[in-house]
Amino acid sequence: MPKLRVHNLAVSIDGYVAGPDQSLENPLGVGGMGLHEWAFATRTGHRMQDTDGGDEGLDDELLAQGDVGIGATIMGRNMFGPVRGPWGGDQWTGWWGENPPYHHPVFVLTHYPHPSITMQGGTTFHFVDDGIEAALDRAKDAAEGADVRIGGGASTVQQYLRAGLIDEMHLAVVPILLGGGERLFDHLDGGPDGYECVEFVSSPGVAHVRFRRAPK
Amino acid sequence: MPKLRVHNLAVSIDGYVAGPDQSLENPLGVGGMGLHEWAFATRTGHRMQDTDGGDEGLDDELLAQGDVGIGATIMGRNMFGPVRGPWGGDQWTGWWGENPPYHHPVFVLTHYPHPSITMQGGTTFHFVDDGIEAALDRAKDAAEGADVRIGGGASTVQQYLRAGLIDEMHLAVVPILLGGGERLFDHLDGGPDGYECVEFVSSPGVAHVRFRRAPK
């Protein structure tokens, strides 16, 4: 059975996946970049930015694992871009340049229809306006038997957690305090019940926790 | 200068220091004991329960460090016991038996006066009903130049964090999800601003993070 997985979701010690005061200039909020420095420092992180070098080791391995066996990604609209409300023009094609680091179909949750966007390197952005289960169905079809990943952000992860649809969730706990922002474990109505920790390993800069939904 | 320190404050991945539905039978809430198993497993944890054995290693070292150089402890009333509102009788003498593992003066924050209670082994419980700063003053006097520790719980830590009075804070991040309960990083009004991570080390079961207030 293909799985729905969350990988490399970076969360601060005080529970935030983005800092306070998110804006176009500061899409991760104040201090939010500090959640991702460990990833950018790795070899996999360098490759995603089309640069050489970067550190090997645990952080790199776990970052890379997030791509293994994934055939499609689902993300929230705010992760795709800063436009809110109706789309207006079609200029915005994501934060990631002409060759996004997905290389597979990406399903963007939105309340407003938008034509698909084909990028270089195998990434196509599709826009789904009829709910998270429809998005999951389309992503599973597109993945052709491979797993589906939830790319983020917090609200999207929460919606799928609340619906009990996430099979595995890997969090990267980063030893910083953000003091505010977007909280991962919020609005869950008991959603995270029934997950057990199946892996807990740490690098000098990150504690990696992998939860799996316990069999019912 | 004597410091105000927090040690071994166990917090779940979803940010709780106690589980949901706290009660007399279940003072740590549902699942809350899972936050403390690492501590009970150590040699220091065994000694606190007057038993031999227990594991050495990182968790044991950090648990033991929480006592080093401490001359007095401050705790919230709910950590001292389950009685709410006026004290009624004087029967309750804490959760810890006749010889509590403090062995120094302990200042309990309360809105209701209560005579001091002298226990075996050097622990005396004093009850402070005129605020957190008064409690800190009294604890500092009693510590005679040594540091003062905040024993917990979450609300007490939050009050001192909000007032900017905590110098060092060691959290033990435990890879479980509690799904609800008492959240550490809440009601802070920016209180945790200005702390930097000065130590981040992990055992197989716990990620230990030590924050220090950055010089202004």
CATH for B148 = 3.40.430.10
Does A91 fall in a domain?
no
Does B92 fall in a domain?
no
Q: What is the pTM of this model?
A: 0.92
Does A89 fall in a domain?
no
Q: Which of residues 136-195 of B touch A (CB under 8 A)?
A: 171, 173, 175-177, 179-180, 184-185, 188, 190-193, 195
Structure token digits, residue A75: 């993300």
B207: nearest CA in chain A? A207
A13 close to B (CB below 8 A): yes
ipTM: 0.89
In A168-216 the beta strands, taken as DSSP E runs, fall at: 168-174, 182-183, 195-202, 207-213
> What is the C-alpha separation between B130 and A135, in angstroms, rounded?
56
On chain B, the residues whose CB falls within 8 A of the CB of A197 are 175-176
Does A66 fall in a domain?
yes
Mean pLDDT of chain A: 93
- Residue pLDDT tens, chain B, 216 long: 999 999 999 999 999 999 999 887 888 899 999 999 999 999 999 988 889 999 999 999 999 999 999 999 999 998 998 888 899 876 899 989 999 999 999 999 999 999 999 999 999 999 999 999 999 999 999 999 999 999 988 999 999 999 999 999 999 999 999 999 999 998 887 667 789 999 999 999 999 999 999 876
Does A92 fall in a domain?
no
Does B177 fall in a domain?
yes
Q: Residue B191 has what pLDDT?
A: 63
B214 close to A (CB below 8 A): no
Could you tell me if B153 and B18 are in contact, meaning their C-beta atoms sit under 8 angstroms apart? yes
Q: How many CB pairs under 8 A join A and B?
A: 68
Residue A184 belongs to what domain range? 4-82+98-213
Q: Residue A204 has what pLDDT?
A: 95
On chain B, the residues whose CB falls within 8 A of the CB of A188 are 179
What band does A116 get if pLDDT is binned at 50, 70 and 90? very high
On chain A, the residues whose CB falls within 8 A of the CB of B209 are 13, 175
Give the count of domains, chain A: 1
Give the closest of A175, A180, A209 to B209, CB-based. A175
Of A53-67, A79-93, B129-143, B163-177, the least confident: A79-93
What is the per-residue DSSP string for A94-139?
-TT-SS-S--SEEEEE-SS----EE-GGG-EEEEE-S-HHHHHHHH
On chain A, the residues whose CB falls within 8 A of the CB of B182 are none
Instruction: Provide the shortest C-alpha distance from residue B95 to chain A (in Å).
Output: 29
Q: Residue A216 has what pLDDT?
A: 65
Which among B177, B209, B211 is the top mutation candidate for probing chain A, defined by the most A β-carbons within 10 Å of its own β-carbon? B177
On chain A, the residues whose CB falls within 8 A of the CB of B200 are 175, 202, 204-205
Q: Residue B208 has what pLDDT?
A: 98
Q: Residue B145 has what pLDDT?
A: 97
Structure token digits, residue A6: 């969350």
Does B25 fall in a domain?
yes
Quick one: average pLDDT of A126-138? 97
Quick one: average pLDDT of A138-155? 96
B197 close to A (CB below 8 A): yes
B30 close to A (CB below 8 A): no
> What is the C-alpha separation between B67 and B101, in angstroms, rounded?
10
Which of A120, A183, A32 lies closest to A40, judged by CA? Answer: A32
Does A88 fall in a domain?
no
